Structure formats: structure tokens, C-alpha cells
Amino acid sequence: MPLPTRWADRRGFVRRLVLTALMGSLLVVGKQVMSGLPNIEPVSLLIVLYTLELPRETPGAITVFLLLQGVLYGFGLWWAMYLYVWYLLALVAWLLRRCDRPLVWACVSGAFGLSFGALCAAVYLFARTPAFAISWWLSGLSFDLLHGAGNFVLMLLLYRPLRRALRLAKQGAGRNR
């Protein structure tokens, strides 16, 4: 994105930049707050909602999230998995952006959680061997079940209220310009 030249453009650019950083930070904080629960996190929910309501800022927010996760936990092989799985979820949400049914989004989010291990195992196809990738994926299936169930329930319960809150926040931000 080229840097803006006029003051009004710069102010809008700075607002979007700050918003993107806050969105990414909220992903990290949400994940940390729920880290005591096995593979149950609000990241999938928030990425879907960000994609639906703030699509221009979502890739930047995911990037902030990825960088902060790498700083917190180290830039290991697990981090390479994150380089595509979260953007893939945003792409799926963007493709389905016309849908506004919580049950559909709960199913999408649940399916993403169920397939998370398989998606992440793809890195091991190249970094190790196909046998290692399959065994890594199979050993984590119980966590994928929890991840899928957690994603499904969180999306089903929080989709409507959080989407409404994001819409109201966008309207309020538009009035303050």
C-alpha cells in the first residue's frame, strides 16, 4: 500500500494502521486468555468476523497476530503452519461473506477446527516425511475434536452479538472522522 500524501489521507491511513494493530493484538490476547482450555480459542471466531466486517484490515491483523505469536513462542516449524492456515480461514470467510446465518458460520468454524491438524500437517510433508505428517496429524485428532467443538460453540453463541458490536463500532468510528 503506497503511503498517503495528503494530511486527510494520512489520518485515515494512521487510523487503519492502529485499528489493524489493535485487531491483531486482540487475537493474541483472546488466545492467551483462553490458553488454559485445550485448543479452544476465539481466534477463528474473530478472524471470521474481522473478514466480514473489516476485510481490508484483516490480512494486517492476521500478520500482527502471527508476528506476536512468533515473538511469544519462538519462530519454530509450528509457526510456518500459521503462515497459511489463518489466511486460509479468512479467504473462506471472504468467499462466504454474503451468508449471515450463525449455524452456517458455526459449521464452517467447526470444520476449520476439525481440519486444523490436517492443514498444519502439510508442513511436515515437506519438512519431514509423509509418514511423519500422517502420524503427527493422527496423534492430535483428539485436540482437533476439541478445537472443532469449541469453534462451533463459540461461533454459534457469539456470532450475532459480536457482529452487531463490530457494526456499531464501525458506525461510531465513521461519525468521529
In the structure, what pLDDT confidence band is assigned to residue 6 with cuts at 50, 70 and 90? Answer: low
Grid coordinates in use for 92?
Answer: 473462506
Q: Report if residue 29 sits inside a domain.
A: yes
Q: Is 12 left (phi over 0), alpha (psi -120 to 50) or beta?
A: alpha
Taking only the tens place, the pLDDT of each residue in 84-137 is: 999 999 999 999 999 999 999 999 999 999 999 999 999 999 889 999 999 999
User: Domain of 72?
Assistant: 7-175
Average pLDDT over residues 41-45: 97
Residue 50 has pLDDT above 70, yes or no: yes
In degrees rounded to 5, what are phi and psi of residue 35? -65, -15
Residue 142 pLDDT more than 60? yes
Q: How many domains does the chain have?
A: 1
Give pTM, 2 decimals.
0.90
Q: How confident is the model at residue 171 (pLDDT cuts 50, 70, 90)?
A: confident
107-140 as b/e, with b when 16 or more CB fall inside 10 Å? bbbbebbbbbbbbbbebbeeeeeeeebeebbeeb
Please report whether residue 2 resides in a domain.
no
Per-residue pLDDT at 159 exceeds 90:
yes
Look at residue 1 and tell me if it is in a domain.
Answer: no
Output the pLDDT for position 2. Answer: 57
Average pLDDT for 44-71: 97
Q: What is the DSSP letter of 3?
A: P
CATH number at residue 122: 1.10.1760
Does 3 score more than 90 pLDDT? Answer: no
49 pLDDT higher than 80: yes
